[in-house]
Amino acid sequence: MVGRGLENLFANWQHITNLLVMVDVLLNEKLYKQGAKYFERIQSDEEYPNDINYLRGRIFFYAKEYAAAFDEFIKVISSTNEKKLLPEIKNRAFEYGVICCMACNENGLPGCDQERIKSLIIPLDNDEEKQILLYFLEKTEVTFENNSKGIIYQILSEILAVSEFDLFKQSLEVLNVINSKEVLLDLAEIYYKNGYKELAIKNILRSVKELDVINANAVQILSKEFLVPQP
């Protein structure tokens, strides 16, 4: 069991900081049930409220309880308490909050206030992050440079992680406004990360055939899937 293996990495795995890290790792590895189980031990903790709300939001998110998840992410975004353990949780909360709104709209579900999160996005100092979030929220007209890919692909990957396939397909329009020749390779990485190996390979081969572009990550994926290990 992965959770037990993680326990062995810590001298005192039951300490709040270690449990926060464990839950985060389990969710990142898509072990949602195990992550939720360990979260039960810390959900009432008051020392790290931002981290707790963030992880609770992610657990709701992966269970497709988008309205409940949205409320938790709004708590993180709105908090004036700067104490946190996990990295970049406010930035990630914005991304998850936007996806929750998109998923609620796509599925006709109530509970995600788009104007609420928009009012929190607009004052952001980071203009790049602001424009990306507003693009996904409202499909504003904009062109993104190559260095914007990280946030964009993180959002796409999380949409795919919750199997919102129609929403993911619609969101792929963003590839047309990224100024990069490697968009198909990056899309392949998103597919591969989420277990869609055939689609990953298809996009790598398409990139080579149509754009004559390949990179080290794509070569690594092809090697893993096609090269037979030597005895």
The answer to whether the CB of 58 falls within 8 A of the CB of 26 is: no
How much is the pLDDT for 141? 79
Residue carrying structure tokens 């390779």:
185
Q: Which residues of 137-173 are buried (b: 16+ CB within 10 A; e: fewer)?
A: beeeeeebeeebbebbbbbbebbbbbebeebbeebee
Query: Average pLDDT, stretch 123-135?
Result: 94
Question: Which pLDDT value is given to residue 4?
Answer: 67
- Residue position matching structure tokens 């919102």: 164
pLDDT, tens digit (0-9, with 9 covering 90-100), for 2-54: 566 677 767 677 789 999 999 999 999 999 999 999 999 999 989 999 999 99
Residue 145 pLDDT greater than 90, yes or no: no
Mean pLDDT of the chain: 92
Q: Give the pLDDT score at 231.
A: 47
